[in-house]
Amino acid sequence: MTNAIEMTGTTEVTKKGPKTLPMKPKTMQCGIVGFLKKMELEGFLETGVCETLLTKLPLFGTVEEQVSYYDGNFDTKHIEQTYIKPRIQEHKKANKPQKEKKPRQ
């Protein structure tokens, strides 16, 4: 959406960004904050460490700053392919029941 402002014969066009954080960065933000707070409540993280980590997130920045932060620092495809998928495959392989070999006659 654009707004045109008439100023002494020239037209200045300004683009408006989104007013709220889009779903993808908002989901990442909620996931990170939720995980950190859960780890704090379960005693895995000290409160000071949790709060320090939360200050590293751009919670109070503009929508554009937040979108830029999450897009620039978190490549979800890379994270899934490099960290998540191999762990899941390793877990499945480790928990797969072993077939009993029949003795040859």
Number of structural domains the chain divides into: 1
Is residue 5, in this structure, part of any structural domain at all? no
Model confidence over 6-28: pLDDT tens digits? Answer: 555 555 555 667 789 999 999 99
Is residue 27, in this structure, part of any structural domain at all? yes
Is residue 15, in this structure, part of any structural domain at all? no
Is residue 4, in this structure, part of any structural domain at all? no
* pLDDT averaged per 10 residues in sequence order, the chain, 105 residues: 51 67 93 96 96 95 94 92 96 86 76
Domain extent at residue 73? 21-91
pTM over 0.85: no
Question: SS3 sequence, the chain?
Answer: CEEEEEECCEEEEEECCCCCCCHHHHHHHHHHHHHHHHHHHCCCCCHHHHHHHHHCCCCCCCHHHHHHHHHHHCCHHHHHHHHHHHHHHHHHHHHCCCCCCCCCC
